[in-house]
Amino acid sequence: MRTVAESPQKKLAVLCSFSGDGGVERIVKLLCAELAKSVQVDLLTMRMQGAHASGFPDNVNLVQLKARHSATVVRELARYLATAKPDVLLAAKDRAGRAALRARQRAGSATPVWLQIHSNLSAALEGKSALRRWWRRLPMRRAYPLAAGVICVSEGVRQDVIKLSGLPAERVHAIYNPVISVDIERLAAGPVPHEWLLRERSLPVVIGIGRLTRQKDFATLIQAFALMQSQRDCRLVLLGDGAEREALQRCVEQLALGDRVLFAGFQANPYAWLARADVFALSSAWEGSPTVLAEALALGVPCVSTRCPSGPEEMLANGRYGPLVEVGDAAALAQALVQTLAAPLPPPVLRAAVAEYHADVSARRYLQKLGLS
């Protein structure tokens, strides 16, 4: 009796530069691990540095390219496409995507190339000259029509890409990031990382997490924290490192908050900190889809966020799951934090807000959109 031969497993190539401690690299690793349960995944990496440049999942085939930058990867990537012949190539970030499109043309490959966009470019370019904005937008207008499609990490980013690239709306899609994995609860249950987070602590703790850069606007969070002190005694923990650390520390000293603010630096397991906080604050000037906000909600931690482009309004359902304040408004942020500490939403309500951000749900959406399911 003859049996029907199983069709060969489809192959997905994912191109990403691991060049820092940001959320994109972590998201790519999580997504690849989940997708590899259904298809063969080759993760093509350019630079390999930063906190996320190790610990790759066993079910992902790691291909370390010699090229260190998207500007020099085209020839090497073209050879890969010609020999490996993946069914689909997904390129994380704008420059990697444009390099992938050039490589496909060079190889004469029929492999569909999809772009994955993580940030709101219009917000990042705000305040730049008209020439700088035009120069940044021009390659998108030329390259993106050559892609099979674009996947954005939030509806806000999707709308921004449509506006900047001129692509028809039906070729640009929003799929939420796979930020909630089965490991998050286990990691959150790790040892108490600091005495401020003991169950029997005397003061509530506000926490902020992210790179200490202009984008995250921790200066406004520190100012808001100072304003809170007249209404509610509490402490502030900041996880992350970056170029603005010294300036932020000086701000804390000038506001005489030294004994109430902890700069804890980068933490390999931020969830043990986050899960024990009384409220999470996102003070960003812009985002694409703020990973840590979804993680806080998944852990049942009350949240307050700026109404920045893009992501928080979608994630918090326009204030249903946590207050939203205008970017840079320290007074409004302070008041929202005080109110949230006084009347936090129940954890089950907060967890329900991010059902679409679970890794298996997100991966299923990717498989369907990329034609791999």
262 and 323 assigned to the same domain: yes
Residue 144: CB atoms within 10 Å: 23
Residue 135 has pLDDT above 90, yes or no: no
Domain containing 133: what range? 11-178+358-370
41 falls within a domain: yes
Mean pLDDT of 298-324: 96
Q: Is 4 domain-assigned?
A: no
Alpha-carbon span 121 to 310, nearest angstrom: 10
Contact status, residue 196 vs residue 233, Cβ threshold 8 Å: no
pLDDT of residue 63: 94
Q: Which amino acid is at 196?
A: W
Tell whether the model's pLDDT for residue 1 goes beyond 50: no
| 352 and 267 assigned to the same domain | yes
Per-residue confidence at 122, pLDDT binned at 50, 70, 90?
A: confident
d(CA 204, CA 207): 10
Which candidate, 34, 32, 64, 70, places its Cα nearest to that of 49? 64
Phi, psi of 227 (to 5 degrees): -65, -30
* pLDDT > 70? residue 153: yes
Q: Which of 354, 357, 202 is nearest to 278 (CA)?
A: 202
Pair 23, 162 in one domain: yes
pLDDT exceeds 70 at position 49: no
Do 17 and 142 share a structural domain? yes
Rounded Cα gap, residues 50 and 371, in angstroms:
32
- Measured N-to-C along each axis, helices 94-107 and 74-84 cross at an angle, to the nearest 10 degrees, of 60
**259 and 167 together in one domain:** no
**Which whole number is the average pLDDT over 100-117?**
97
Distances (CA, A) of 170 to 150, 158, 311, 350, 364: 10, 11, 20, 31, 19
Please tell me the distance from the alpha carbon of residue 80 to that of residue 65, in angstroms, as a whole number: 10
pLDDT at 2: 42
CB proximity list for 27: less than 8 A, separation 6 or greater: 118, 153, 177, 178, 179, 291
| Positive/negative CA dihedral, 218, 223, 224, 229 | positive
239 and 158 co-located in one domain: no
Same domain, 203 and 141: no
Q: Which of 11, 188, 180 is nearest to 85 (CA)?
A: 11
- Mean pLDDT value of segment 203-223: 97
Using the predicted structure, report yes or no on whether residue 333 has a pLDDT greater than 60: yes
> CA 150 to CA 115: how far, in whole Å?
5
Gap between the Cα atoms of 234 and 341, Å rounded: 10
| 208 part of a folded domain | yes
| Bridge partners of residue 92, in order along the sequence | 116
Same domain? 199 vs 84: no
For residue 39, the number of C-alpha atoms closer than 13 Å in the C-beta half-sphere is 24
> Number of folded domains in the chain?
2
Give the pLDDT score at 210. Answer: 94
| Average pLDDT of the chain, as a whole number | 92
Could you tell me which residue, 359 or 68, shows the higher pLDDT? Answer: 359
5 domain-assigned: no
The pLDDT of residue 26: 83
Mean of the pLDDT values across residues 254-265?
96
**204 located within any domain:** yes
Q: Do residues 92 and 126 share a domain?
A: yes
pLDDT given at position 21: 62
Same domain as 209, residue 67? no
The mean pLDDT value for 142-147 works out to 95
Separation of alpha carbons 326 and 330, rounded Å: 9
Q: Is residue 43 part of a domain?
A: yes
**pLDDT band at residue 20, thresholds of 50, 70 and 90?**
low
Q: Which of 13-17, 109-113, 177-181, 358-362 has the lowest mean pLDDT?
A: 177-181
CA distance 273 to 190: 9
Write the CATH number for 152.
Answer: 3.40.50.2000
Structure tokens at 354: 């991010």
Strand partners, 89: 13, 113
Is residue 2 domain-resident? no
Chain segment 154-206, per-residue pLDDT in tens: 999 999 999 999 999 999 999 999 989 878 999 999 999 999 999 999 999 99
| pLDDT, position 285 | 94
The rounded distance, in Å, linking the Cα atoms of 275 and 273 is 6
Instruction: Examine the pLDDT at 124 and tell me if it is beyond 90.
Output: no
Judgement on whether residues 152 and 235 belong to the same structural domain of the protein: no
Contact 277, 197 (CB under 8 A): yes
Q: Is residue 6 part of a domain?
A: no
Q: Do 157 and 22 have their domain in common?
A: yes
